[in-house]
A = this chain, B = another copy of it.
Amino acid sequence: MVSAKMYELGTKKSTIRTIFEFGRKRAAEVGEENIFDFSLGNPNVPTPDFVRDAAIDILQNSEPSAVHGYTVAPGNPQVRAALAASIKARFGMDCAGKNIFVTSGAAAAITSCFKALAETGDEFITFAPYFPEYKCFVESVGAELKVVKPRPEDWQIDFDDFDKLLNAKTKAVIINSPNNPSGAVYSEQTIAKLAEMLKARSEQFGHPIFLICDEPYRELAYGVDVPWVPNFYANALVCYSYSKSFSLPGERIGYIVVPNSIADFDKIFGAVAGAARVLTHVNAPSLWQLVVAKCAGKAVDITPYERNGKLLYDGLIAAGFECVKPQGAFYLFPKALEADDYAFCERAKKYDLLLVPGADFGAPGYFRAAYCIKTETIERSLPLFKKLAEEYWS
């Protein structure tokens, strides 16, 4: 009567959802303040005042039809020009309005790229640990997702394993830096080596391998540079979102950058537009298009995230955990204290520490702790992490 696949996708509870519901139940029993919920990647730095002020100014002082009317599908031309100018100024890449396709957030951006590029039999490659929704989106466009094994010493790229997966069917590679869930930022060396390998393999296979850069965490980097990938590789597409950089996850606003350097710009931009259309994109929310253009180049204050990350990292290290130091996003991805990360996360629940098993991200034996929560909650959680660790060593 209905599509079995859609029913399954719509009703199968994700691990994070299950943890979240457990947390709500426990909060009702023992009080909100006694739940240490590290499970959700929901930005907790408030939306900046400059965003609210821009929205109110536009609502008060612009013609309603200019604010709320349809825009053309790739976005309001003035908005695209403003975003392109900001990219050009920041990264030195040749960029104009025609290179920007404004989307309803990053999910729409990446899936429009996947659907634009996917032909029968295509493979896409990503790197563990990875955002699990990639699998759903890649499969929904009829392609297959291959996953490179993790490199736990620094969560950069295992190039040997990557090279084994590259083949003539590889249409595109998806990277996410700063990374959810590892918190790693791919270094310039990593990106340069990735570009070099993709260039060689593209030549070998006789067709371009595209690099899709999912960058919702670009502005959340702590003391390290996030390389601008199109400066290293011609066939890169950048997908951006304001969910984290402006703390606007509910408003669904982001964009795709299609650089001039890409193989056959017109073909790719046209296919992105067609893919967006069948994904029911009409235009990205029009007020938010104007707001992000007005605030181009700005970002939330990331010091609360940086402070939280350091606090949690230092606390976990002191408690005896192994963890790569966070460089970006708002996640730590430490080693679980037993091989079975599900069992470890179950055990952590005894202390009302809500953590997500690494296996959910393709990296068993680790766990994700999202630190976009109150600093005070992190402070009060540290003795509990210590107790949990002591259980394993007693």
Residues of A within 8 A of B (CB): 1-11, 42, 44, 46-47, 52, 55-56, 59-60, 63-65, 67-71, 104-105, 107-108, 111-112, 115-119, 136-137, 140, 207-208, 247-252, 263-264, 267-280, 282-289
Contacts and interface: CB of A to CB of B under 8 A. Distances in A.
A105 B70 CA distance: 12
A248 B278 CA distance: 21
Contact of A67 (B2, B250, B289): B250
A279 B280 contact: yes
By secondary structure, the A interface counts as helix
Contacts of A104: 104, 252, 280, 285
Contacts of A270: 2, 6-7, 10-11
A8 to B, nearest CB: 7
A10 B268 CA distance: 10
B60 A46 contact: no
A273 B11 contact: yes
A137 B281 CA distance: 11
Contact of A115 (B6, B64, B111, B275): B6
Given A3-B119, A7-B271, A140 B68 contact: no
Given A108-B280, A282-B252, A285-B285, A64 B47 contact: yes
A263 to B, nearest CB: 7
A261 to B, nearest CB: 15
20 contacts: A1-B207, A2-B264, A2-B271, A3-B271, A6-B115, A6-B272, A6-B274, A9-B274, A9-B275, A10-B277, A52-B59, A55-B287, A56-B56, A56-B60, A68-B248, A68-B249, A104-B285, A249-B282, A252-B284, A287-B287
A1 B208 contact: yes
B70 A250 contact: yes
Contacts of A105: 280, 282
B68 A285 contact: no
A1 B279 CA distance: 20
A204 to B, nearest CB: 16
Contact of A69 (B42, B55, B137, B276): B42
Contacts of A264: 1-2
A11 B116 CA distance: 12
A42 B251 CA distance: 23
Contacts of A208: 1
Contacts of A3: 115-119, 271, 274-275
Nearest to A109: B280
A119 B67 CA distance: 39
Given A10-B269, A55-B55, A64-B247, 20 more contacts: A1-B208, A2-B267, A3-B117, A6-B274, A7-B271, A9-B274, A44-B65, A46-B64, A46-B65, A47-B68, A52-B60, A68-B248, A68-B251, A70-B250, A137-B280, A140-B278, A250-B285, A252-B283, A285-B288, A287-B287
Contacts of A10: 116, 269-277
A251 B264 CA distance: 32
B116 A6 contact: yes
A47 B270 CA distance: 32
Most chain B beta-carbon contacts within 10 A, residue among A7, A68, A249: A68
Contacts of A4: 119
Contacts of A52: 59-60, 64
